[in-house]
Each structure stands twice: as C-alpha cells, then as structure tokens.
Amino acid sequence: MAYSWFKAFHIVGIVVWFAGLFYLVRLFIYHVEANEEPEPARTILKNQYQIMEKRLYNIITNPGMFLTVAMAIGLLTTEPEVLKQGWLHVKLGLVLLLIGYHHYCKRLMKQLAKDECKWSSQQLRALNEAPTVMLVVIVLLAVFKNNLPTDITAWGVVGLVIFMAVTIQLYARKRRLDKEKLTEPVAQQQT
C-alpha cells in the first residue's frame, strides 16, 4: 500500500514541478521581451515578471521538485532491488540533469532581477524545450523500463527535438515579421 501512495504523490510532484519549470522560463522570455517596451511599461512589466517568477519558483516549482524527490526515495525504499536496473540509472541521471536545470533557472532569475541576463528571448525559447525532452525520455524509461524500444524511441526523440527547434525558429520569425508590419505604418506616419 505504501508503494501506491508514494507513486501517486510522485506523479503529482512531477506534474507540479514540470508545470513550474515550463512556465518559469516562459516568464523569463516575457521578462526579456519587456526590455523592448517603452517606459513606464518596461519597468512595470519587469517588476511584475520578477514577482511572478519568485512566487512561481518558491511556491510551485521548488515544492514540486521536493515532493518528486521525496516520493522517489519512498518508492526506492519499498522496492530497493530496482536500483540494480540499468533503466533506472539512466532515469536518475536525467533527473540529476533536471535538478541542475532547475537550479540554473534560479540563477537566470537572479540575473534577470539585476538586468544582467545575456539570454535572448529566442535562446530562452530553446532552453524551455530542454525539460520537455527530458520529460519524454524519463516517462518512456519509467513505462518501458529495460524493454525500451530504442530504435523507435531514439528516432522519436530526435524527431521531437528537430520539430521543437524548427517550431521555435518559425514562431520567432513570425513574431519578428508581425512586429515589423506593426511598426511600418507608424514609421510611415512619422515621415
């Protein structure tokens, strides 16, 4: 019975953690893009994003990570023999990378607060895809364990990464063209 409780809350923790990570970097993108706004909107937006980032990180993302890790430890205490399986070693390695990503987001948040962040909004969009790829691989490992169909999975993950990269580039291009269309009439009116 303990295994089921640990597993249920492990899944809840994962959902909360990833929701926080996905939205946090999205806020970073908006924070960076606020620099393109005229004053006083720029300052107002940046202050609001800074508040939202801190709250999201401290109230949702951190607790989600802690719940995920705590419940994973609980799961491992109920089934310690699983620690001998290769798929779990890969999964745990990815989770460590994800924890590093989580803490790197904290670093970016501090840099944004000090106006020292060097990332562009397009670079942040690409960064935002990293947890998606890790989530897909982690879930596949958890479901298939040692029977992961690596040939199909590998190509699926590669395809997913390429698709996300192309989508990011197309979206950034569309936004740039839309912005240019909006500024053209203004520039023509001023001349």
The token pair that represents 39 in the structure block: 């004053």
Distances (CA, A) of 125 to 109, 149, 184: 15, 29, 26
Residues 6 or more apart in contact with residue 130 via CB below 8 angstroms: 101
91 is in an annotated binding site: yes
46 is in an annotated binding site: no
H-assigned helices in the chain: 2-33, 41-55, 62-78, 86-113, 121-127, 130-144, 150-190
Known binding-site residues for heme equal: 10, 91
Known binding-site residues equal: 10, 91
